[in-house]
Chains A and B, each alone.
Chain A
Amino acid sequence: DAGVIQSPRHEVTEMGQEVTLRCKPISGHNSLFWYRQTMMRGLELLIYFNNNVPIDDSGMPEDRFSAKMPNASFSTLKIQPSEPRDSAVYFCASSFRQGLAYTFGSGTRLTVV
Chain B
Amino acid sequence: KAGVTQTPRYLIKTRGQQVTLSCSPISGHRSVSWYQQTPGQGLQFLFEYFSETQRNKGNFPGRFSGRQFSNSRSEMNVSTLELGDSALYLCASSLDGGGYWETQYFGPGTRLLVL
Q: Do A and B come from the same complex?
A: no
